[in-house]
Chains A and B, each alone.
Chain A
Amino acid sequence: AQSVAQPEDQVNVAEGNPLTVKCTYSVSGNPYLFWYVQYPNRGLQFLLKYITGDNLVKGSYGFEAEFNKSQTSFHLKKPSALVSDSALYFCAVRDMGNFNKFYFGSGTKLNVKP
């Protein structure tokens, strides 16, 4: 069975500092991994995905994520956080047996303080 875990309910970081939001996954076969962001009162928005290729994936709003097969992780990163990055972040993996199905992590609330 496919699953993702986000071990932190909340991450606090000061503006200008680097941020990391953690995600680990469990899949059979090669994973299709995604990050989505949910701003207050808005729908989830796609940030980035890893399908194959370079382990460092760049996405929207200056975010990037590093795929690490040995650690089964796909952590979201940004070199310099902005207050406007404060939101709820979801990691997701696509079900390789049922390609229509995505499994989402429990979400991590990112708080960036000025």
Chain B
Amino acid sequence: SAVISQKPSRDICQRGTSLTIQCQVDSQVTMMFWYRQQPGQSLTLIATANQGSEATYESGFVIDKFPISRPNLTFSTLTVSNMSPEDSSIYLCVGGGQEKLFFGSGTQLSVL
């Protein structure tokens, strides 16, 4: 099983500020994704992190709000910008192998 390390594990932030989440994966992973898991809801794909180029965003998510970097194969960051209470959620870094996904333990974000 691949190892996905994500930090911070949780944070409490003020409205209007930004938070950057870091993710490190091991070499078994070829793809990197960012998901959001809102309270009581399913997982939603935010974007696919592409190495050395702009991320591919899903409908409803934009780069200005969720800038993503992936400078190399095994590292990516997600920034949640200009936060509001609606951004309170668990943000998950996910690695894609040949047939299945590998999940980090997530970042639980609370916005006051």
Contacts and interface: CB of A to CB of B under 8 A. Distances in A.
Among A36, A45, A102, which residue has the most Cβ atoms of chain B within 10 A?
A: A102
Interface in B85-112: 92, 96, 99-106
Interface string B17-40: 000000000000001010000000
Contacts of B4: 43
Contacts of B102: 46
Given A100-B31, A100-B33, A100-B96, A43 B42 contact: no
B77 interface: no
B43 interface: yes
A74 to B, nearest CB: 15
A98 to B, nearest CB: 9
B105 A41 contact: yes
Given A100-B31, A100-B48, A46 B101 contact: yes
A4 B22 CA distance: 30
Q: How large is the interface on B (under 10, 10 to 19, 20 to 34, 35 or more residues)?
A: 20 to 34
A38 B1 CA distance: 15
A44 interface: yes
B45 interface: yes
Contacts of A101: 45, 58
Interface of A: 32, 34, 36, 41-46, 49, 51, 90, 100-102, 104-107
Which 10 residue pairs are nearest across A and B when measured between Cβ atoms? A43-B103, A44-B103, A43-B105, A104-B43, A106-B42, A104-B42, A46-B100, A43-B104, A100-B48, A100-B31
11 contacts: A34-B101, A43-B104, A45-B1, A46-B101, A46-B102, A49-B99, A51-B99, A90-B42, A100-B33, A100-B48, A102-B45
